[in-house]
Amino acid sequence: MSDRSYLTQTELMILLAIMRLKDEAYGVPISAEILERTGREVATASVYAILERLEARGFVKSQLGEATAMRGGRAKTYFRVTARGNAQVRETQHALQELWRGLPLKGKA
């Protein structure tokens, strides 16, 4: 596994969706939040694969919820952004703002 610290665009969107969803952050709502806010579809299976990588890197932490009959006795896995993940989101935000600074809003770059 790579030891890179930067975030891909999809990783960043997933972390931001988790921050927005707070205590309701698990795969399906994360996918729905990204679709609603960006118009981009991210398959739930892809979300979980990325969440696994983010957790291995210490950017998110997972916790099993209660098993429910509605889910056939299976529990949801909820995610929260860690302090390290939050710091990485802010670092990425700053880097992107610096890259945008001074670029024309319209016309040729």
Domain total in the chain: 1
The rounded distance, in Å, linking the Cα atoms of 7 and 50 is 11
Q: Which two tokens stand for residue 16?
A: 């931001």
How much of the chain, in percent, has pLDDT values that exceed 70?
89
Q: Is the C-alpha dihedral spanning 21, 24, 30, 34 positive or negative?
A: negative
CATH number where 61 lies: 1.10.10.10
- Packing angle of the helix pair 44-56, 27-38 (nearest 10 deg): 110
Check residues 2 and 9 and name the one with the higher pLDDT. 9
| Predicted local distance difference test score (pLDDT) of residue 1 | 42
pLDDT of 102 > 80? The answer is yes
Residue 3, in any domain of the structure: no
How much of the chain, in percent, has pLDDT values that exceed 90?
75
pLDDT of 96 > 80? The answer is yes
The arithmetic mean of pLDDT across residues 65-74, rounded, is: 72
Residue-range definition of the domain harbouring residue 53: 9-100
CA distances, 57 to each of 25, 51, 108 (Å): 18, 10, 38
Q: How far does the chain reach from its first CA to its final CA, in angstroms?
A: 36
